[in-house]
A and B are shown apart, each in its own frame.
Chain A
Amino acid sequence: QITLKESGPTLVKPTQTLTLTCTFSGFSLYTNGVAVGWIRQPPGKALEWLALIYWDDDKRYSPSLKSRLTITKDSSKNQVVLSMTNMDPVDTATYYCAHNIRESYWDPRYSSYYFYYYMDVWGKGTTVTVSS
């Protein structure tokens, strides 16, 4: 059974750096094809994807937030860490981490496999408020 749990501060001040940890069980980031991502949701608003890290340490970031985000992993501890710099009140949100599952597609035109990842299991989320 896959489970994920987010942890970190509930309150940060403007301009500070937020560091969140996702601790998971039921899978390993040593395993080929595994990824963990972060998503946030401001109060009463839609979901926003932030970042993702693959088993091979490849990373993807939201283009709009890329300059402020860093995602890292410690596979031995079953943890993924997200850092976001220069926090602002608009960053107040519930932050989720999620296990991503891979789908493969064979394109005969190019004789190549392509891989696509979607989020199948989510943590319960952690609420972060940005306020002085």
Chain B
Amino acid sequence: IQMTQSPSTLSASVGDTVTITCRASQSISSWLAWYQQKPGEAPKLLIYKASRLESGVPSRFSGSGSGTDFTLTISGLQPDDFATYYCQQYNDYWTFGQGTKLEIK
């Protein structure tokens, strides 16, 4: 299963609301996770089962979608949110998207 994220790079300002899209090459139901990765660090789980917020993750992060189309929304960007975001399907083996780098405008 191939995972395609868009955009590859996203420029935004603190306080903005941004949306990252992830598309699967075939239906994965809701078996999708979102990770945040900062330079030099391991990925951190944000969302699992498409829309469930991992414990301790701020509520400004939200996920939606099912089947083949999914979104990660960050409402009210904070300085700590500028990072790279990956989607990952776990319906059939495990596959990551190519990543979306969220930059400060």
Contacts and interface: CB of A to CB of B under 8 A. Distances in A.
Bind each other = yes
Interface of A: 37, 46-49, 52, 60, 62-63, 96, 103, 116-125
Contact of B93 (A49, A96, A122): A49
Interface of B: 31, 33, 35, 37, 41-45, 48-49, 54, 86, 88, 90-91, 93-99
B40 to A, nearest CB: 9
Given A52-B94, A120-B54, A46 B99 contact: yes
A9 to B, nearest CB: 20
A77 B28 CA distance: 35
B42 A122 contact: yes
Given A116-B31, A120-B54, A49 B96 contact: yes
Contacts of B31: 103, 116, 118
Contacts of A120: 45, 48, 54
Describe A's contact surface by its main secondary structure.
Answer: strand
B43 A118 contact: no
Describe B's contact surface by its main secondary structure.
Answer: loop
A87 B37 CA distance: 26
Given A46-B86, A103-B49, A118-B94, 7 more contacts: A46-B97, A52-B94, A116-B90, A118-B31, A120-B54, A122-B42, A124-B41
Centre residue among A52, A62, A116, A125 by max chain B CB count within 10 A: A116
Contact of A118 (B42, B44, B48, B98): B48
Contacts of B44: 122
B96 A48 contact: yes
A63 B37 CA distance: 25
A52 B54 CA distance: 22
Nearest to B32: A118
Nearest to A120: B45
Contact of B90 (A47, A117, A123, A125): A117
Contacts of B49: 103
B43 A47 contact: yes
